[in-house]
Structure 1
Amino acid sequence: MSRIDLFIAGGQKCGTTSLHAYLAEHPGFCAGPKELHFFDDEGVDWARHDYAAYEARFDGPGMRVDATPIYGFWPGALERIARYNPAARLIFLRRDPVERAWSQWCMEYARGDEAMPFARAIREERSRIATGETGMRHHSYVERGAYGMQAARAMALFPRRQLLFIESAELARDHAGVLARVAAFVGVGPFGAVSPLRRNARADVDYPASPDAADRAYIMERLSHDRVLFERLTGIGGARAV
């Protein structure tokens, strides 16, 4: 069985569900179940793993797509993908890091996995992440917005031509234009007329107050050097895809 060719590797709460759904409508793609969480599975013996069961999850013709947005963030995941398929192409979506962090916090809060207020959670994030896998998976609100570090890791493993960076705001504003670039990036035929998809509806929960100016300033300051790194590596400084 042939290797998986395309990965939507980031980022969580950045529009990956919509992009996966768009690709599923194109006959040139075989979009497997979203978020298989294969290459971030720390219970796997990666030195001697058999990929047959993983590849069997993709049933149908076309370029097979694994959309698991934690891959770009999770330590070791991109390295495992590179060993699995050095010719793979990877797509990364980027969103305003404050909006992204708040959206993730709301998801964890609605699931019952977060009891700490947002303002405190982002300020205590580093100590929670240091405790292990649970903190990394559930409480990495600011760190997942370090798109520059993720781009640097990807570029150290794959040629630049195999990487596509997309602004989530552009996917929402001009999905047809973004999908045309995706088709050109992977070498499939153009998309037909595709209706815009609605964003995932937030759970009907009584959320506390949204981030204030101090929260935004804190997040943007923490990520200030990373934003410079991302722009230097990708050439992207505004809302566009390259």
Structure 2
Amino acid sequence: MVAPPLVSFLIAGVQKGGTTALFDYLGDYGDLALPAEKELHFFDDDEGVDWSAPDYGRYHAVFPAPDERPRGEATPIYTYWPNSLERIAAYNPAIRLIVVMRDPVQRAWSHWRMEYARGVEPHPFAWCIREGRQRLFRTEPWGHHREFSYVERGFYGEQAERLLSLFPREQLLFLRSEDLRRQAGGTLDRVRHFLGLRPAAAPPARESHVGRAADYPSDLTPGDVAHLRRIYARDGERLADLTGIRFEA
């Protein structure tokens, strides 16, 4: 029996950074094999997969029938969640990873708005990015949380360093979400080149997962912005050194 082809690329990060828009754009092309739904959450599954002997059949089953097209998916927690990248490297050492990054302050704010609108987060933003960070040290795995990680998911320099320790640089593509939004055609050209695809006309511009309307109890204040800029300053320098991408200081 011939083994199914491996997944050859992932949109691996970051949450609230434009990954849905990129996944939707790529789905408009006909020369990529993508699952019907975004965010498969296979490599961050700590309970349903025996990682000493993983069964990749369940993962492969959600993709279209094998053909010549590159297979890929988008699960933005992979760059953040412990062991996900190591599991990906063990699965396919030659895999290509795309990381779409958004200004970490705006990312944190958008993340909080999403969780508040979903009814998951009852606390105001100012508390969440200050005292609320202590919640992550009462969870398992220690220091991580799927919903309340507003600040922690924005340490892109740390994530880039981890990626570069596991994969050759030529297998990594770091993008800014604002470039995808403002210059979609050029950014998609870069993605297609990175994936070894021929140039193609860009699909129509789109906005995906626009923030939900809700009666939010918080505004993003200058004090909140300054607080987060201080937190991210050193990590932002690390990101710039590793990738050349810099967000507002």
User: Which residue identity is paired with 2:126?
Assistant: A
User: Which residue identity is paired with 2:216?
Assistant: Y
Per mean C-alpha deviation after superposition, the further-off stretch among 208-217 and 97-106 is 208-217
What TM-score do the two structures reach when normalised by structure 1?
Answer: 0.95
The reply on whether 1:119 has 2:130 as its aligned counterpart is no
The reply on whether 1:87 has 2:94 as its aligned counterpart is yes
Q: 1:11 aligns with which of 11, 14, 26?
A: 14
User: Which residue identity is paired with 2:236?
Assistant: R
The alignment partner of 1:47 has SS state of: coil
Name the residue aligned to 2:117: 110
Q: In structure 2, do the counterparts of structure 1 residues 220 and 57 end up closer, same or farther at CA, with 3 Å as the change threshold?
A: same
Give unpaired runs (5+ residues) of structure 1.
none
Per mean C-alpha deviation after superposition, the further-off stretch among 99-108 and 55-64 is 55-64
Q: In structure 2, do the counterparts of structure 1 residues 133 and 173 end up closer, same or farther at CA, with 3 Å as the change threshold?
A: farther
- Cα offset, 1:70, TM superposition: 0.3
Structure 1: distance between partners of 2:79 and 2:203:
27
> Which digits, 9 at most, give the CA deviation of each residue in 1:100-154, with x for residues without a partner?
0011101100111100100000112431111224961000001111110110010
Q: After the TM superposition, which residues 67-78 of structure 1 pair with which residues of structure 2 at under 5 Å, given as runs?
A: 67-78=74-85
Aligned length: 239
Structure 2: distance between partners of 1:152 and 1:28:
31
User: Which residue identity is paired with 2:5?
Assistant: S
Q: 1:48 aligns with which of 50, 53, 68?
A: 53
The alignment partner of 2:33 has SS state of: strand
Aligned-residue RMSD, C-alpha: 1.5
Q: In structure 2, do the counterparts of structure 1 residues 57 and 95 end up closer, same or farther at CA, with 3 Å as the change threshold?
A: same
The alignment partner of 1:29 has SS state of: coil
Identity over aligned pairs, percent: 47
> Which digits, 9 at most, give the CA deviation of each residue in 1:186-228, with x for residues without a partner?
1012222411002322222111232101111111111111001
Give unpaired runs (5+ residues) of structure 2.
none
CA contact (8 A) 2:103 2:247 kept: no
**Structure 1 runs (4+) greater than 6 angstroms displaced:** none
Name the residue aligned to 1:20: 23
Name the residue aligned to 2:188: 179
The alignment partner of 2:138 has SS state of: coil
Structure 2: distance between partners of 1:197 and 1:109:
25
Structure 1: distance between partners of 2:229 and 2:154:
10
